[in-house]
């Protein structure tokens, strides 16, 4: 199970590359970018579920040495952010986002993340608008894939509400810790 989870995690690097390559197709490729984003977030949900199941299974067997996280598991969040930034890069390269705005946003985000010593919560603050941007642009462009993306979000929230709440609690805890420093 752990290998499948790692494969799903690694697939986001390939998805990120495909998203950037789709910039060669211009604005006409936006629907394909949204499909790839949905696929990428689906792999994120699935790899998380598989990794948690594998860990529970290993804990039941008391195999602590096998329960350690793999390199890919440790870098899951970084691969998520790679996919997020790839979609932002696509939107910039095809003209939806002005290059100077994208450059400025990237500099501010990088400075804030560096200044917070790589805080996951700070990274999430800057990632959230980039996650929402492709959906908002697809909706503005009148693409039906925007509705498919919204439906996917609703289904994921219904199926994995507990996990979503856990992510929100982790974000809040990270921000509280950061603000105490």
Instruction: Tell me the average pLDDT across 57-84.
Output: 78
**For the chain, how far is it from start to end, CA to CA, in angstroms?**
38
Of the candidates 40, 47, 45, the one whose C-alpha atom is nearest the C-alpha of residue 70 is 47
At 18-34, the pLDDT tens digits run 999 999 999 999 999 99
At 96-144, the pLDDT tens digits run 999 999 999 999 999 999 999 999 999 999 999 999 999 999 999 999 9
Judged against a pLDDT cut of 60, whether residue 63 lies above it is answered with no
Judged against a pLDDT cut of 80, whether residue 67 lies above it is answered with no
Judged against a pLDDT cut of 90, whether residue 49 lies above it is answered with no
Of the candidates 178, 176, 174, 155, the one whose C-alpha atom is nearest the C-alpha of residue 166 is 174
For residue 141, the enclosing domain spans 2-180
User: Residue 180: how many CB atoms within 10 A of its CB?
Assistant: 6
**What is the pLDDT of the chain when averaged over all its residues?**
92
Judged against a pLDDT cut of 90, whether residue 12 lies above it is answered with yes
Judged against a pLDDT cut of 80, whether residue 72 lies above it is answered with yes
Number of domains in the chain: 1
At 137-181, the pLDDT tens digits run 999 999 999 999 999 999 999 999 999 999 999 999 999 999 985
Residue 42 has a pLDDT of: 95
Within its chain, how far is the Cα of 28 from the centroid? 23
Phi-psi category of 34—alpha, beta or left, where left has phi over 0 and alpha has psi -120 to 50?
A: alpha
3-state secondary structure of 1: coil
């Amino acid at each position: 199970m752990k290998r499948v989870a790692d494969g799903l995690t690694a697939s986001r690097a390939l998805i990120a590359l495909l998203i950037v390559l789709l910039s060669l197709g211009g604005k006409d490729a936006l629907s394909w970018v949204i499909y790839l984003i949905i696929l990428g977030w689906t792999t994120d949900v699935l790899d998380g579920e598989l990794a948690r199941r594998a860990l529970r299974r290993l804990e039941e067997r008391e195999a602590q040495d096998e329960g350690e996280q793999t390199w890919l598991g440790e870098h899951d969040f970084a691969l998520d952010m790679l996919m997020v930034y790839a979609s932002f890069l696509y939107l910039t390269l095809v003209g939806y986002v002005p290059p100077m705005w994208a450059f400025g946003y990237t500099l501010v985000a990088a400075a804030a993340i560096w200044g917070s010593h790589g805080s996951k919560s700070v990274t999430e603050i800057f990632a959230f608008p980039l996650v929402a941007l492709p959906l908002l642009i697809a909706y503005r462009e009148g693409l039906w894939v925007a509705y498919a993306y919204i439906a996917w979000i609703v289904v994921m929230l219904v199926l994995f509400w507990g996990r979503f709440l856990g992510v929100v609690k982790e974000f809040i805890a990270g921000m509280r810790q950061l603000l105490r420093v």
